[in-house]
Amino acid sequence: MRQLVPLTITFCVGTLLIVSVFIPPLGDLERTFTLWFDIIAVFAFFLGGGNLLRVHINKLRRRKTDWGFSIVTLAGFSTMLAAGLFKIGNPGDIATAVDAPGSMFYTIFDSVVVPLGSTMYSLLAFFVASASYRAFRAKNREATLLLVAAFIILLGRTPFGLMLTEWVPDSFSLLQIPNLAIWIMNSPNLAGQRAIMIGIGLGVISMSLRLILGIERSYLGGDNA
Amino acid sequence: MEHFALWLSAFLTLGILSFLYKDNPWYKLSEAVFVGISAGFWFVTLFWDNLVGKFWDGWQDEPMLWVGAVLGFLMLLRLVPRIGWISRWPLAFIVGATSGLWLMNYLASNIMVQVQATIQSLLSTSYASGYDAGWGAMINSLVIVVGTFTGLVYFYFSKEHKGAFGGAARVGIFFIMITFGASFGYTVMSRMSLLIGRIDFLLGDWLGLIN
The 10s digit of each residue's pLDDT in B166-200 is 999 999 999 999 999 999 999 989 999 999 999 99
| B61 lies in some domain | no
DSSP string, B11-39: HHHHHHHGGGT---HHHHHHHHHHHHHHH
| Contact residues, B window 58-117, toward A, CB-based 8 Å cutoff | 58, 62, 64-65, 67-69, 71-73, 75-76, 78-79, 85, 88-104, 106-107, 109-111, 114-115, 117
Contact indicator for A184, A161 with CB cutoff of 8 Å: no
The residue range of the domain holding B127 is 120-211
B136-145 — which CB contacts under 8 Å span 24+ positions?
Answer: B140/A183, B140/A186, B140/A187, B143/A187, B143/A188, B143/A191, B144/A187, B144/A190, B144/A191, B144/A194, B144/B118, B145/A191, B145/B118, B145/B119, B145/B120
| B91 lies in some domain | no
Distance from CA of B147 to the nearest CA of A (A): 5
| B109 lies in some domain | no
| A167 lies in some domain | no
Query: What Å distances lie between residue B205 and A35, A183, B188, CA to CA?
Result: 42, 37, 25
Distance from CA of B130 to the nearest CA of A (A): 22
Query: In chain B, which residue's Cα lies nearest the Cα of A200?
Result: B110
Chain A CB within 8 Å of residue B39 CB: yes
| A32 lies in some domain | yes
| A207 lies in some domain | no
| B37 lies in some domain | no
Query: Which amino acid does the sequence have at B3?
Result: H
| B3 lies in some domain | no
Query: In chain A, which residue's Cα lies nearest the Cα of B153?
Result: A195
| B128 lies in some domain | yes
| B12 lies in some domain | no
| B190 lies in some domain | yes
The 10s digit of each residue's pLDDT in B109-135 is 999 999 988 887 777 777 677 777 788
A85, A154, A212 ranked by CB distance to B100: nearest = A212
pTM: 0.85
**Which residues of chain B make contact with A7, given a CB cutoff of 8 A?**
92
Domain count of the fold of chain B: 1
The 10s digit of each residue's pLDDT in B37-93 is 999 999 999 999 999 999 999 999 999 999 999 999 999 999 998 998 999 999 999
- In this predicted structure, the answer to whether residue A224 has a pLDDT above a threshold of 60 is no
ipTM of model: 0.85
User: Half-sphere exposure of B122 toward its Cβ, with a 13 Å CA cutoff?
Assistant: 9
Domain count of the fold of chain A: 1
